[in-house]
Amino acid sequence: MPQEYDLTLWISRYDPDTRRSWVQDYRLQAGRILRFVDIFRKINDEQDPTLAWSSSCEHGQCGTCGMKINGKPLLTCELLVENAVRLFKTQAFTVEPLTIAPVIRDLVINMEEAYARVHSVKPYIIQPAPPHPEGDEYRISPKVLETYVDATRCINCFCCATACVTQKNYLGPNAMLANIVRLMDPRETAKQERMDILYSEQGTPRCRTAQACTFVCPKEIDVAHFIALAKEGRCA
Amino acid sequence: MDTSAPRTGVEAYLIGILERSERVSNYARSRGWRFVMTWAHRIAGGILVLYVLFHTCTLSALHEPAVFASKMELFHTFIFRFLGWVLAVPVIFHALNGTRLILYESFRVRKDPTMIRWVFVLGAIYVLTLGFFMLTGNQEVSPCFFWLIIAIASAISSTILYKRLRHTQNGILWKLQRVSGAFLLPLVSGHMFFMHLNHRAGHDVDTILARLSAPGMKALDFVFVSLVYFHAGYGLCTIIGDYVEDIRIRSGLRVLVIFVLGAFAYTGAKIILTV
C-alpha cells in the first residue's frame, strides 16, 4: 500500500457575489491516513485560501462536514484517503456540496434551511408523559429502549436526505426519523399529532424504500427499517 | 446487495456486466444496488404503462372481428413475437420487485439481498418458461381451471396484504396501490402466461370473443383493467409528486394523467362489457 497518493480533486465552487458556479481542479499529494477535511485544509494552506468548506467537531458527531464525494454523500471528517481510493477505485474525486439546501459558498450549504424540515416535525417531546410516581425521572425499560435506541444516534448530517430518491415534497429520511424516534419514545403522549405528520403527503407516501438512506448513513442507522416500521403501523 | 460484498458465479458475472455502465456503477457505489432497483422498477413500470395503452388500443378493434383478425396478423410475425417475449422481462421484474417491497414494508422481511436474488431467479425462470411455451405453442389448458386458480391466488394475496394494512394510518390510495399490486401479481403474470400457454387464446379472434363472453371472465377482466389503470395512474402521480415542486404544475400533470388513463380505462372496460 502506498504511503502517499497523487490525488486529483474536482471541487464545485460557487461565488455568491458574482453568482458564478464552476468546477476547479486541485492536484496534491496526500498521506494515506489523511482525512478529506485535512485535504481541504491543505488546499487552503498551500494552494487556495479562498476555498470555503465547513466542519466543526471533525470526529463524526456534528454532521457539519457532509459532502458528496464521487456522488456519495458522506462525512468528510471520517473519510480517509486510503479508504476513498479503495471505495471508488480511483485517485480522482469530484467533491460537491450536499443537495439538500442552497449553497452559500463553494462547499458550504445553508444548514438553517436544511434544518427547516427537521424543525417541521417538532424534534422534541411535544407533550411529556407525567414522571414516574416513585421519583422525578421517567423510566424507560431497556426492552422498549432497544427498539428505537439506534435511531437516536442520528446527527442530522443530511447525507440520507441527499441520497434519497425523493428530492421534492418529502420531509426526508432524517426528519422522518426524528419524528419516528419520538413516536416510539414512551415519554411522548402527543402520538396523534406525530402520526398526522408521519402519514401526511410529505411523509411515508413519499418514501420509495430504495434504502439509499441506510446505505449512506455515517452512523450506520438502518433508517429504511424505521420508516418501514411506520408504514407497517408498528412504531406507536 | 452491498457493493463490497463478495460475489461468485452467475451473480458476479451479471454484476460485472451491469457495472460496465458508468452511470449504474456510480449509483450502485454511491447509493447502493437497492437504489438502482428502485429506478429499474420505475422504468419497468413506465414501459408497462405504455404497453397497456397500446394493448387497449389494439383490443378496441374487437368490435370489428375482421379488422381485429387482420391486425393480429402483424403480431404473428417473428419480431412481434420476440417483442412479446421481451415484454415479460419488465412485467415479471416489476411484479416480483413490487412483492419484495411489500414484504419489506408490511411483513418485515429485511433479508433484502436474498430477496433481490429471488427476484432475479424467479424472473429468469418465468421468462425462460414463457419462451419455451411460445416456441412449442402446442399446450392446452382449461381456461376455467386456469383462471379460477389465478383468481383465487389474487384474492388470497390481496386479502393477506389488506388485513396487514387495514389498521395502519397510511392513506387509502397508498393502501389501494399496494393491495392492487398484490392482486395483480398473479393476475398479470398469469394473463401473460395464459396467452402463450394456450396458443389459440391469444391469437384467434373467435376464441378471444368466446372467452370474453363468459360472465366470470368479464368480471375478472373488468377488475383487472380497473386495477391496472389505478395502479399505473397512482404510480405516475407519485413520480410526478417526487419531482415537481410547483403545486400548480404538479396538479395539472396529475389531472392530465388521470384524464388520459381514465379515458383508456373506460375504453378497456367498455370492450370487456360490451363485446
Domain extents in chain A: 4-109, 111-232
- The model's pLDDT over B27-78, given as tens digits with 9 standing for 90+, comes to 999 999 999 999 999 999 999 999 999 999 988 888 888 888 888 888 888 8
CA distances from A76 to A112, A189, A202, B155 (A): 20, 38, 29, 51
Residue B3 clears pLDDT 50, i.e. is over it: no
**pLDDT at B143 (0 to 100):** 82
Mean per-residue pLDDT, B234-249: 94
pTM score > 0.90 for this model?
yes
Q: Does A171 touch chain B (CB under 8 A)?
A: no
The whole-angstrom separation of Cα B260 and Cα B254 is 10
**pLDDT at B6 (0 to 100):** 59
CA distances from B236 to A57, A84, A154, B229 (A): 43, 38, 32, 10
Q: Write the CB contacts of A30 (distance below 8 Å, at least 6 apart in sequence).
A: A4, A5, A7, A38, A39, A42, A81
- Interchain CB distance below 8 Å, B241 and A208: no
Q: Does A211 touch chain B (CB under 8 A)?
A: yes
- The model's pLDDT over B128-156, given as tens digits with 9 standing for 90+, comes to 999 988 888 767 778 888 899 999 999 99
Give the model's confidence band at A219: pLDDT under 50 very low, under 70 low, under 90 confident, else very high.
Answer: very high
> Residue A142 in contact with residue A182, Cβ under 8 Å?
no
The whole-angstrom separation of Cα A209 and Cα B97 is 11
Residue B103: CB atoms within 10 A of its CB come to 16
The whole-angstrom separation of Cα B99 and Cα B160 is 13
Output A232 or A130, whichever has higher pLDDT: A232
Give the model's confidence band at B199: pLDDT under 50 very low, under 70 low, under 90 confident, else very high.
Answer: low
Q: Does A225 touch chain B (CB under 8 A)?
A: yes
- Interchain CB distance below 8 Å, B243 and A167: yes
CA distance to partner chain B, nearest, from residue A100 (Å):
14
> Residue B1 in contact with residue B113, Cβ under 8 Å?
yes
- The model's pLDDT over A20-78, given as tens digits with 9 standing for 90+, comes to 999 999 999 999 999 999 999 999 999 999 999 999 999 999 999 999 999 999 999 99
Q: What is the CATH code of the structural domain delimited by A111-232?
A: 1.10.1060.10
Cell numbers found for residue A186: 414512551
Residue A163 clears pLDDT 70, i.e. is over it: yes
The whole-angstrom separation of Cα B137 and Cα B197 is 7
- ipTM value of the model? 0.92
**pLDDT at B5 (0 to 100):** 55
CA distances from A155 to A63, A64, A115, A158, A227 (A): 6, 9, 12, 8, 17
The whole-angstrom separation of Cα A193 and Cα A198 is 9
Q: How many CB pairs under 8 A join A and B?
A: 100
The whole-angstrom separation of Cα A200 and Cα B241 is 13
Cell numbers found for residue B236: 405516475
- Interchain CB distance below 8 Å, A168 and B242: yes
Chain B hits for A214, Cβ within 8 Å: 32
Residue of B nearest to A236 (CA): B168
- The model's pLDDT over B179-193, given as tens digits with 9 standing for 90+, comes to 999 999 999 999 988
Residue B162 clears pLDDT 80, i.e. is over it: yes
Residue A1 clears pLDDT 70, i.e. is over it: no
Mean per-residue pLDDT, B98-111: 96
**pLDDT at B111 (0 to 100):** 92
Mean per-residue pLDDT, A182-193: 95
Region of A104 (left: φ > 0; alpha: ψ -120 to 50; beta: rest) is alpha
> Residue B36 in contact with residue B28, Cβ under 8 Å?
yes
- The model's pLDDT over A101-127, given as tens digits with 9 standing for 90+, comes to 999 999 999 999 999 999 999 999 999
Cell numbers found for residue B176: 389501494
Residue A4 clears pLDDT 60, i.e. is over it: yes
The whole-angstrom separation of Cα B158 and Cα B180 is 7
Residue B200 clears pLDDT 80, i.e. is over it: no
CATH architecture, domain A4-109:
Roll (3.10)
Give the model's confidence band at B177: pLDDT under 50 very low, under 70 low, under 90 confident, else very high.
Answer: very high
**pLDDT at A235 (0 to 100):** 85
The whole-angstrom separation of Cα A185 and Cα A233 is 15
> Residue A163 in contact with residue A172, Cβ under 8 Å?
no
Cell numbers found for residue A29: 499529494
AA identity, residue A147: T
**Could you tell me whether strands A4-15 and A92-97 are parallel, antiparallel, or unpaired per DSSP bridges?**
parallel
**Could you tell me whether strands A66-69 and A72-75 are parallel, antiparallel, or unpaired per DSSP bridges?**
antiparallel
Residue B203 clears pLDDT 50, i.e. is over it: yes
Report chain B residues touching chain A, CB-CB < 8 A. Answer: 2, 26-27, 29-32, 34-35, 37-39, 101, 104-106, 108, 110, 112, 164-165, 167-171, 174, 238, 241-245, 250
CA distance to partner chain B, nearest, from residue A214 (Å):
9
- Interchain CB distance below 8 Å, B168 and A225: no
**pLDDT at B1 (0 to 100):** 40
Tell me B213's DSSP state.
H
Mean of the per-residue pLDDT values for chain B? 90
**pLDDT at B123 (0 to 100):** 96
Question: What is the set of domains in chain B, with CATH numbers?
Answer: 32-274 (1.20.1300)
Residue B2 clears pLDDT 70, i.e. is over it: no
Q: Does A72 touch chain B (CB under 8 A)?
A: yes
For residue A27, give the H/E element and its range: strand A20-31
Cell numbers found for residue B248: 400548480
CA distances from A141 to A28, A41, A186 (A): 53, 45, 10
